[in-house]
Amino acid sequence: MPKSKKKKKETNKIWELYKVEKGSLTLENKMCPKCGAGVFLAKHDGRESCGKCGYTEFKGKNPKKA
């Protein structure tokens, strides 16, 4: 059997979660209140969720029901 080619692993793009304004850093996403510093909430339609612990915050007055 021929050897399979290894896929290149994508690097962590943590710098995309920060924004530089007037010489200071600001966060684009919120931090997870359960996990603490260093774990960000992912933005989705109508909610923000943590990939590590599953914590979810819903946006808006009436969240979508599935």
Cβ-contact 23, 34 below 8 angstroms:
no
Cβ-contact 55, 44 below 8 angstroms:
no
**23 within some domain:** yes
In terms of C-beta density within 10 A (0-12 exposed, 13-18 middle, 19 or more buried), how is residue 22 classed?
exposed
Listed residue (17, 33, 34, 35) closest to 25, CA to CA: 17
**Can you give the pTM of this predicted structure?**
0.62
Query: What number of helices (H) and strands (E) belong to the chain?
Result: 0, 6
Q: What per-residue confidence (pLDDT) applies to 58?
A: 93
Q: Which domain holds residue 25?
A: 17-58
Q: What per-residue confidence (pLDDT) applies to 35?
A: 92
**34 within some domain:** yes
Q: What per-residue confidence (pLDDT) applies to 24?
A: 92
- Read off the pLDDT band of 64 (50, 70, 90): low
**7 within some domain:** no
pLDDT digits (tens, 9 = 90+) for 1-58: 677 888 888 887 888 888 898 889 898 888 999 998 889 999 999 999 999 999 999 9
